[in-house]
Structure 1
Amino acid sequence: MHIGLIGGIGPAATDFYYRRLIATFASRKAALELTIVHADTQTLLSNLSRNDIEAQVAIYSRLTDRLVAAGAGCVVVTSIAGHFCIEAFKSVSPLPVVDMIAEVGHAVDKNGLKRIGILGTRTVMETRFYGGIRSAEIIPPSGSDLDDVHQAYVAMAASGVATEAQRSIFNHVSRKLLEENGAEAIMLGGTDLALVFSQDHASFPLVDCAAIHVDAIARLALSA
């Protein structure tokens, strides 16, 4: 299946999806058919802050029309923040949407974790991953920690680079969620957190939403 990615939100997340798909298909000795269209990070964040579902769905729909013309058989939003309007988008998309919220929910159901800390944008943290996890309690940072994580994440996503100060915030808040709030793992509730954490090198358990999403995309495309 030809995969259609709505990328650019942010650039580092798009790079993560692209590289992981390349590696997965290469390991299976399968040809990767892929088209990426570009959505703007700042426009998304503005629409998210106003909960302007209609405006963001219109952007996704316009970009998906391009993917249809390119021959894509599915569409993927490469942003967790960008999933704030995913149900509305799924109802009008001309292509099947690979829904990250649903895929992460399935993965959490299987792994047996019961308390999971979360990092990401304010909306993703405050809504506890849009209420998409049924089998575990999602624990957001509290007080100024939530503000610090949101601000660091938004700046990182826009630039595509993680500074040492941003890394320090994410690691400090993760430790507090684990040690003071009883979290068993940290959910990477923003796809650009691949700039900071990886499953191979993390010193604590992760729920890597972007990796779960990419693996679900690959399974779908390879089975078609």
Structure 2
Amino acid sequence: MHKLGLIGGLSWTSTARYYEIINKAVHRAKGGQHSAPLVIESLDFAEVARCATDDDWDCAARQLIEAAVRLEKAGAGALLICANSMHRVYERVQESVRIPVLHIAEQVGRKMQADGIEKAALIGTRNVMTEKFYRQRLVGHGVSLLPPDMDLAERIDAIVYDELTVGKVSRESERYMKSELTDIAKQDVQAVVLACTELELIVDVSANVLPIYDCTHIHAMAGVDYILG
């Protein structure tokens, strides 16, 4: 098996989910006592989030680049950035290392294209929903996206940064997301892209009217494909 590197701590709750998905999939594939060969850089999310909040993306990029370089030196043959929002600095991270960094939106876009999805709603934190760095990757795979719902984006920001990144799961937020997904299903779309690695904590991806493309799971499984070669 090939060694995979994870840039995590963005937040630790979603990184734990990556670790679980990857190891369970490797065990299913290999059986016995097998688990995934991983190296993990778990960053202090408070420091990274402070940069992003202040729109100091140079500061955020520097921390991710330093982590990527350390992971490459530790023997990783490919990397995952375990957060949708931090793909805002993806190109700079990729340029800093000689190994591939698997882009989360590229993996999601390929799967949607293979499934014949042409119209979808993108939900996540504000920068993912509104900025072109993420949306253009999906559009490049033939997926037309609804315009961003700014009220939804602001509420998701509050849920993610005030609750989910510190491990808090509330019934109120679960009900809110279920209601929003029900409303989205009434629109002219074929699927929903769950483009926040923490939202899986409060969204049942298998119990909705529309198919939900869970970016965390899709991205982690791309890492599994690399590991198994």
TM-score with structure 2 setting the length: 0.87
Secondary structure of the residue that 2:40 maps to in structure 1?
A: strand
Aligned to 1:221: 227
Distance 2:148 2:125 in 1: 11
In structure 2, the residue matched to 1:15 is 16
* Cα drift, residue 5 of structure 1: 0.7
Distance 1:160 1:123 in 2: 22
Residue matched to 1:175: 182
Indicate if the aligned counterparts of 1:10 and 1:160 stay in contact, CA closer than 8 A: no
* Count of residue pairs brought into register by the alignment: 222
1:115 to 90, 112, 119: 119
CA distance in 2, matches of 1:185, 1:176: 12
Fraction of identical pairs, as percent: 21
Across the aligned residues of Structure 1 and Structure 2, the Cα RMSD in angstroms comes to 2.0
Partner AA of 1:110 in structure 2: A
Superposition pairs for residues 1-224 of structure 1, below 5 Å?
Answer: 1-29=2-30, 30-127=34-131, 129-134=134-139, 135-179=142-186, 181-223=187-229
How far apart in 2 are the matches of 1:17 and 1:206?
Answer: 18
Superposition deviation, residue 198 in structure 1: 4.0
SS at the partner of 1:197? coil
CA distance in 2, matches of 1:160, 1:94: 34
Shift of 1:98: 1.4
| Structure 1 unmatched ranges of 5 or more | none
User: 4+ runs of 1 displaced by more than 4 Å?
Assistant: none
129-138 or 45-54, which deviates more: 45-54
Structure 2 residues not aligned, in runs of 5+: none
Q: Write the distance in 2 (CA, Å) between the matches of 1:60 and 1:92.
A: 10
State TM-score, norm by structure 1.
0.89
Q: Distance in 1 between matches of 2:212 and 2:6?
A: 24
Q: Quote the Cα distance in structure 2 between the aligned partners of 1:176 and 1:200.
A: 17
Quick check: 2:90–2:103 contact (8 Å CA) kept in 1? yes
State which drifts further: 5-14 or 34-43.
34-43
CA contact (8 A) 1:117 1:174 kept: no
